A and B are shown apart, each in its own frame.
Chain A
Amino acid sequence: MLRFLASRILTMILTALCLTFIVFFLTNLSPNLEKVAKSELGARITDAEVESWLGRNGYLEPTLIRYGEWLGVVPGFTHTAADGRVTGRCIDPDMGPDDAPKFCGIIQGDWGFSTVFRRDVSEIVARGLGLTGKLMFWVMLVMVPGALIIGVLAGMREGSRTDRTLSTLSIVTTATPEYVSGVVFITVFASSAVGLKWLNGSATSAMDDITIANFTLPVLTIALYGMGYIARMTRASMTEVMTAQYIRTARLKGVSFRNIVLKHALRNALIAPFTVIMLQFPWLLNGVVIVETLFNYKGFGWTLVEAAGNNDIELLLGVSVVSVLVVLITQLISDIGYVYLNPRIRIS
């Protein structure tokens, strides 16, 4: 088990390094840097001025070294101007070059400064994560029990009418991407022109105060897309368990159907959905970005869109690191959880 864990964690770190390097490389391509220079100095500067600005700020070093600096394993870049003033990556404007730390990367907790929001990246990301965390909590609360109940009901009698109806229903939800269900929900429940006018079409007010009116639609929109998929996996796992030998034995012993489902089948049928739920996180991230944009909820996904749309390199890097880590950690939990939950693997 320990060996397995170590190898998984090692692969995960390697993957994280590769992915962050790819993101770093793609966000720091020369057209992007040129745009940064132009937004700092004004759009009408010459190419030579762009070049010298980039050189002064350390953007012209090789990408691998800059990646090391950003990560915090290579000493920060410094530049000595003609008048002897030293500036650099790790040197704040109100700090002397000698007081400044040698390394300043994300390992040291220095995530950089957002050019759009004019605040520290770590602060913005933390705030976005907090808001998105609230959203995800409610999504999970709706999605997981709903999906498991639908899946178990459909899977306990394979081929029955209930199974067919519920399976078709889950196909419908998996075929409805968030931007479609969001639009439909807003039209039906929130439009001021037609529809029921029960709920709010915007979740901006939910950032301070969550109510049913402003939070139902975003939560439902995200939950619906994932629900069908998890339900189908649960159904598949349930039908497989229901054909197992020990279920037949239980039935022959005369155990009632209700007890067979609840006591014998359910626990084994829920191992596979656990992995699926964990692996849904990358897709949920997708949904979060779409829903937060559609409902104007300024969480993590909205921050990603703002950072990418405004060429805010440091913020985009910060957001990418967090999302890559979320994905990898959930994968790790899913692997470990699968081994832990499944006695056949755990004991061998």
Chain B
Amino acid sequence: MDPLSWTGAVGAILNPALLVVSGLFIVAIILMIVLSFFAPPVTLQSNADGTVMAQGGIFGLVETAVRGLLFALLAVIVAYIVSGIVLPYGDAGIIGAVNKQFTPVWISLVGTFVVSIIYKRKLGIYGKLFDNIIGMVGFGLVMFWVFTAIYAGVFDMIATHDPLSQVSGLKNKVPGVPVPGADVMAPGSHYLLGGDNLARDVFSRMIHGSWIVVQIAPLATVFAFMVGITLGLPAGYFGGKFDTGLSFLANLVLAFPVILLFYLLVTPEMVETGIPSYMAAVLFIFPLIFALVLLNSRYHTQPALRTIILAIVLGVLGVLYLSLVNQDGTVLHFLPDWLDLFDVPGGILVVFVSVVFVNSPTIYRIVRGLAMDIKTRDYVAAAQTRGEGPWYIMLWEILPNARGPLIVDFCLRIGYATILLGTLGFFGLGLPPESPDWGSTINAGRGLLSIYPHPALVPAIALLSMVLGLNLLADGLREESLKD
């Protein structure tokens, strides 16, 4: 069994093409930036016959060249992906084999884009995203990892090996090394991106790591938003002592260096004392409060309906909350086992709590600022004159009108939560050391970084692409929402 080369047979054609196109692309971009300081800008000239003509000059020429080269570059990349999927395993090298593993992700991604672009006029702000190249790239990157995580975590596809199994002889081996004993060219016969220092498959660990990240980061952000909104709205709307006190607390948390907080909170001793469990009990109750107040303020004029709705919501969310907080072997263990739906492992819970805790003060400040701004608007005054209660105004008048900045910040904040999660992993805090999440994998690989870079480089690039996707998505959303 031979080791795989990077690009296999197709590399003979595609590699020189990629080299030439990307080289020209970079030259053109630099040229464009330099020229933009000197050359006259592109203007539109209207002709006598009623047509409009772009007066480009040299700058316009370069701009056209950049656009053409961008499409050429995309075509080469698509050629790599398609050849990998179409050709038999191994013929297109490591890159081809990796793309073959990602086949379901590529299909889902293409499907999502086609459907979204066809119906984009009917999809509101989400549809407008597809008018914006930056936003589309960001959305593509994010959805790539979301699909990867779902296929790997739920359906156990994509990954070629178990993330924890070790194959002797493959310790720190370079990408494309064949697995001893495999004799058929098929998925699983190679360590596609090499082996790590415990002879595990780097590629499979990266894939399974995405599931952990995609689960924790958005959920922690949702909880942080619930805390921030539930406290920030009344602070901004009422002001006064409540606002002063809460703002002081928020500033207190914000003045705390994040790393120090992590080192103090996320330790086995701290889990032993039960402080994270108490913090979880406090922080996780906010979604419950939020939902109840939201519905109560809406339906309190129809008491019969309100009671039914509140009872149902309280029942469902209450059980979820109790089983989330209740934990075997910690200080909070009061529920009978039949009512405890699920258990979050202690390590993950403390990671979750600390990410929520670090993020909520910033969201509190944003929401408070937005509420202070919006409460001076006419429609709020109109609602007050109508005799609506303060909570109705906050949750049904102010909050919907603050959604634009909040959605943008939500995307950014998921990226930030991913970075924080990686930081925790990088210092070996919280998650177990064999966990395949990206931060822990980078931490495991950094010891021999200068000799065997691939075990740390692969998760690093994965994390970078996901956070970059979220940032680009947020930028695209901001631009499109400003156009309204």
Q: List, in ascending order, chain A residues with CB within 8 A of B449's CB.
A: 183, 186-187, 191, 201
Query: Does any Cβ of B come within 8 Å of A243's Cβ?
Result: no
Interface of chain A residues 131 through 179 with chain B (CB within 8 A):
157, 160-162, 165-168, 171-172, 174-177, 179
Stretch at the interface among A86-94, A248-256, A284-292, A337-345: A284-292
Q: Are B255 and A171 in contact (CB under 8 A)?
A: no
Q: List, in ascending order, chain B residues with CB within 8 A of A187's CB.
A: 449, 453, 456-457
Q: List, in ascending order, chain B residues with CB within 8 A of A270's CB.
A: none
Q: Are A165 and B255 in contact (CB under 8 A)?
A: no
Interface of chain B residues 433 through 464 with chain A (CB within 8 A):
439, 442, 445-446, 449-453, 456-457, 460-461, 463-464
Q: List 24 A-B contacts (CB under 8 A).
A: A26-B270, A31-B270, A35-B269, A157-B36, A160-B36, A162-B37, A165-B29, A168-B134, A171-B468, A171-B472, A176-B468, A180-B463, A183-B456, A184-B457, A186-B450, A191-B451, A192-B451, A193-B452, A193-B453, A194-B453, A285-B257, A290-B259, A327-B255, A331-B255
Q: How far is the CA of A294 from the CA of B270 in the complex (A)?
A: 26
Query: Does any Cβ of B come within 8 Å of A293's Cβ?
Result: yes
Q: How far is the CA of A320 from the CA of B265 in the complex (A)?
A: 14
Chain A residue with Cβ nearest B30: A165
Q: List, in ascending order, chain A residues with CB within 8 A of B445's CB.
A: 183
Query: Does any Cβ of A come within 8 Å of B41's Cβ?
Result: yes
Q: List, in ascending order, chain B residues with CB within 8 A of A184's CB.
A: 457, 460-461, 464
Q: What is the total of A-B residue contacts with beta carbons within 8 Å? A: 153
Most buried by B among A22, A180, A324: A180
Given contacts A30-B273, A282-B255, A327-B255, contact A186 B460 (CB under 8 A): no
Q: List, in ascending order, chain B residues with CB within 8 A of A73's CB.
A: none
Q: Give the 3 A-B residue pairs with the shortest CB-CB distance, closest first.
A: A308-B263, A31-B269, A187-B453
Q: Are B446 and A294 in contact (CB under 8 A)?
A: yes
> How far in angstroms is the closest Cβ of chain A from B75?
21
> How far in angstroms is the closest Cβ of chain B from A302?
12
Q: Are A180 and B451 in contact (CB under 8 A)?
A: no
Query: Does any Cβ of A come within 8 Å of B419's Cβ?
Result: yes
> How far in angstroms is the closest Cβ of chain A from B22?
16
Q: Are A179 and B423 in contact (CB under 8 A)?
A: yes
Query: Does any Cβ of B come within 8 Å of A10's Cβ?
Result: no
Query: Does any Cβ of B come within 8 Å of A41's Cβ?
Result: no
Query: Does any Cβ of B come within 8 Å of A15's Cβ?
Result: yes
Query: Does any Cβ of A come within 8 Å of B264's Cβ?
Result: yes
Q: Are B36 and A162 in contact (CB under 8 A)?
A: yes
Q: List, in ascending order, chain B residues with CB within 8 A of A165's CB.
A: 29, 32-33
Chain A residue with Cβ nearest B41: A160
Given contacts A187-B457, A286-B259, A289-B259, contact A161 B419 (CB under 8 A): no
Residues of A within 8 A of B (CB): 11, 15, 18-19, 22-23, 26-27, 29-32, 35, 157, 160-162, 165-168, 171-172, 174-177, 179-180, 183-184, 186-187, 190-195, 201-202, 282, 285-286, 289-290, 293-294, 301, 304-305, 308, 311, 316, 319-320, 323-324, 327-328, 331
Query: Does any Cβ of A come within 8 Å of B258's Cβ?
Result: yes
> How far in angstroms is the closest Cβ of chain B from A1?
22
> How far in angstroms is the closest Cβ of chain A from B386?
37
List 9 additional contacts besides A15-B252, A26-B265; criterion CB under 8 Å: A31-B270, A165-B29, A168-B472, A175-B467, A179-B426, A186-B450, A193-B452, A290-B423, A294-B446
Q: Are A286 and B255 in contact (CB under 8 A)?
A: no
By the criterion of a CB under 8 Å from any partner CB, how many residues of chain B are at the interface? Answer: 54
Most buried by B among A183, A192, A194: A183
How would residues 263 to 296 of chain B score, 1 for a CB under 8 Å from any chain A CB and 0 otherwise? 1110101101101000000000000000000000
How would residues 29 to 54 of chain B score, 1 for a CB under 8 Å from any chain A CB and 0 otherwise? 10011001100010000000000000
Q: Are B471 and A179 in contact (CB under 8 A)?
A: no
Q: How far is the CA of A85 from the CA of B408 in the complex (A)?
A: 66
Q: How far is the CA of A304 from the CA of B258 in the complex (A)?
A: 12
Q: Are B471 and A171 in contact (CB under 8 A)?
A: yes
Q: Are B471 and A177 in contact (CB under 8 A)?
A: no
Query: Does any Cβ of A come within 8 Å of B256's Cβ?
Result: yes
Q: Are A183 and B255 in contact (CB under 8 A)?
A: no
Interface of chain B residues 221 through 255 with chain A (CB within 8 A):
248, 251-252, 254-255
Q: Are B450 and A191 in contact (CB under 8 A)?
A: yes
Q: How far is the CA of A325 from the CA of B112 in the complex (A)?
A: 50
How would residues 395 to 420 of chain B score, 1 for a CB under 8 Å from any chain A CB and 0 otherwise? 00000000000000000000100010
Q: List, in ascending order, chain B residues with CB within 8 A of A167's CB.
A: 475
Q: List, in ascending order, chain B residues with CB within 8 A of A35's CB.
A: 269
> How far in angstroms is the closest Cβ of chain A from B244?
11
Chain A residue with Cβ nearest B439: A179
> How far in angstroms is the closest Cβ of chain B from A286?
5
Q: Are B419 and A177 in contact (CB under 8 A)?
A: yes
> How far in angstroms is the closest Cβ of chain A from B461?
8
Chain A residue with Cβ nearest B137: A168
Query: Does any Cβ of A come within 8 Å of B144's Cβ?
Result: no
